[in-house]
Homo-oligomer: A and B are copies of this chain.
Amino acid sequence: MPYDPSAFPPFAVTVDLVVLTVRRDALCALAVRRGEPPFQGRWALPGGFVRPDEDLAQAAARELVEETGLCAHDPDAPAQDNGAHLEQLATYGDPKRDPRMRVVSVAHLALAPDLPAPRAGGDANSARWAPVEELLQRGGYGRDGEQAAPLAFDHAQILADGVERARSKIEYSSLATAFCPTEFTVGELRRVYEAVWGVALDPRNFHRKVTGTPGFLVPTGGTTTRQGGRPAQLFRAGGATLLNPPMLRPEV
């Protein structure tokens, strides 16, 4: 690819991923431990350089597969397969965000159902799901009492932006179903909302809302009792992607 370095300043372009899931009723993000400077040993968001011949979305999907094995699907397609939802989040390009060189990072947001375990080159110690509060709070204590250092680079900001995007987007879209397996119950979907928003929702009103919105949920006919209690109907995500009127997030 010919270019004249004097005509424009060269940048490195990367994609960083905010991969969110809900596990044990908590909103968790995927973090990887940096093996090299800068920020060696610190936790960071997964990501990497965009290759010369790939689109930004392709690069994000490739990184997602490499880190989680998840297959991303088109954001405009319904979430039928087991793939994760993937969308562009925002781009971060502060001149000093990477001490080595000028790096512009196109952050992407991925929403995935609960997965067995992260895989990062087979090294179980170098990737983990961590509750977002734990990753965002400064100076707190992480798992195993380990001192939780802030995320590397500006990744705390990127994660915060991704979490905020997810929190607001499940209000008016069916995106919360991306956190659920293919078949799920109304209660499981409600627990997703409760975990992402950090609030308690009335089960009866929630049930009325989601089952009363045409095209949002499609009953599969089956039932399950995996949550204990009375068996619940199983649903799949319907074709509707927009929720109108939106789900209302309660005031704090």
Contacts and interface: CB of A to CB of B under 8 A. Distances in A.
Interface in A73-103: 88, 90-95, 100-102
A93 B49 CA distance: 13
Contacts of A106: 91, 93, 104
A56 interface: yes
B93 A13 contact: yes
Contacts of A53: 95
Nearest to A14: B8
A54 B95 contact: yes
Contact of A51 (B9, B55, B104): B9
A1 B102 contact: yes
Contacts of A91: 56, 88, 91, 106
Contacts of A5: 10
Interface of A: 1-3, 5, 8-13, 49-56, 88, 90-95, 100-102, 104, 106
Given A55-B93, A55-B95, 15 more contacts: A1-B102, A3-B100, A3-B101, A5-B10, A9-B12, A10-B10, A10-B11, A11-B11, A13-B13, A13-B93, A13-B104, A52-B102, A53-B95, A56-B91, A91-B106
